């Protein structure tokens, strides 16, 4: 009985139904009115959570539309675990399937970028790879070594200029310039220390990181990078990765 009642109450406050109304007694006002108070509180709290996780998406679509989007998302994807920082990870896919947003095909990938930044922020606080450790590897052993990605490392590859869109929609930017939507971009998110780094990387570097995240050896990752971008500069890429904490160790 109790689990069923709890489930009904959850569905009701999330806006799905009023099945729990018959269980509620009210000396003043109807049961529906009392339930509406809980529903409004929950909806507002979860909408605020989503707005915090997706500030650029909110800025692009506007506050009013974002609130509507959030309410629909909350109804379709209620929280499953009692951890607000983990709520909202499916919003990008939800946006991709939302008919009213078909005119903004880039928005889902912008949402993915914003979510990866949140994941990076809450990732384990693991030390980054010491450049000395890499320099001590003998040249003949380089191809077989495996670089271990830092827990905060995330890569988002999009057919749209998501880094540009994200950059020009920061709070300090008042006049948003036009953007060439035909430009594909790959964005690497890392967190050296307490600071989240969100940087644009080339196609070769993106291929290198993607293969590394997949567990490929150094040689295979470099080969993938050169295939994707024949002019790939390995030394420059490694320097940037070591500075920005892309990797945590060597396996």
Which of 137, 187, 134 has the alpha carbon at shortest distance from 161? Answer: 187
Has residue 9 got a pLDDT over 80? no
Per-residue confidence (pLDDT) for residue 5, from 0 to 100: 42
Has residue 219 got a pLDDT over 60? yes
Domain ranges of the chain: 1-104, 125-251
CA distance 155 to 185: 11
Per-residue confidence (pLDDT) for residue 2, from 0 to 100: 46
Maximum separation of any 2 CA atoms in the chain, in Å = 81
Q: For 42, phi and psi rounded to 5 degrees?
A: -65, -45
Give 35's pLDDT tier (boundaries 50, 70, 90).
low
Has residue 14 got a pLDDT over 70? no
CA distance 53 to 71: 15
CATH code for residues 125-251: 3.90.930
Has residue 29 got a pLDDT over 80? no
Averaged pLDDT for residues 140-157: 96
Helices (H), 86-233: 91-96, 107-122, 131-135, 162-168, 203-213, 218-228
Say which residue, 28 or 78, is predicted with more confidence: 78
Say which residue, 123 or 24, is predicted with more confidence: 123
Per-residue confidence (pLDDT) for residue 177, from 0 to 100: 87
Per-residue confidence (pLDDT) for residue 42, from 0 to 100: 77
pLDDT digits (tens, 9 = 90+) for 101-130: 999 999 999 999 999 999 999 999 999 999
Say which residue, 5 or 174, is predicted with more confidence: 174
In the chain, the percentage of residues whose pLDDT exceeds 90 is: 72
Has residue 174 got a pLDDT over 60? yes
Rounded to two decimals, the pTM is: 0.86
pLDDT averaged over every residue in the chain: 89
CA distance 138 to 52: 46
Report in angstroms the alpha-carbon separations of 3 from 8, 98, 132. Answer: 9, 32, 56
């Amino acid at each position: 009985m109790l689990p069923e009642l709890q489930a009904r109450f959850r569905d009701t406050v999330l806006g799905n139904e009023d099945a729990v109304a018959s269980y509620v007694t009210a000396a003043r006002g109807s049961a529906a009115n009392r339930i509406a108070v809980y529903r409004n509180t929950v909806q507002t709290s979860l909408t605020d959570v989503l707005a915090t996780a997706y500030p650029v998406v909110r800025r692009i679509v506007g506050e009013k539309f974002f609130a509507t989007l959030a309410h629909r998302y909350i109804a379709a994807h209620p929280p499953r675990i009692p951890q607000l920082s983990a709520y909202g990870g499916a919003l990008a896919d939800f946006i991709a399937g939302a008919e009213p947003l078909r005119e903004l095909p880039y928005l889902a990938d912008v949402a993915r970028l914003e979510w990866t930044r949140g994941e990076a922020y809450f990732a384990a606080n693991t030390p980054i790879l010491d450049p000395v450790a890499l320099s001590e590897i003998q040249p003949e052993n380089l191809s077989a070594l495996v670089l271990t990605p830092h827990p905060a490392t995330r890569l988002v590859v999009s057919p749209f200029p998501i880094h540009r869109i994200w950059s020009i929609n920061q709070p300090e930017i008042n006049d948003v310039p036009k953007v060439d939507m035909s430009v594909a971009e790959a964005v690497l998110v890392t967190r050296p220390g307490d600071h989240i780094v969100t940087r644009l990387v080339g196609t070769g570097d993106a291929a290198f990181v993607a293969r590394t995240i997949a567990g490929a050896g150094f040689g295979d990752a470099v080969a993938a990078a050169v295939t994707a971008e024949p002019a790939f500069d390995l030394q420059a890429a490694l320097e940037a990765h070591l500075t920005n904490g892309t990797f945590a160790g060597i396996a």
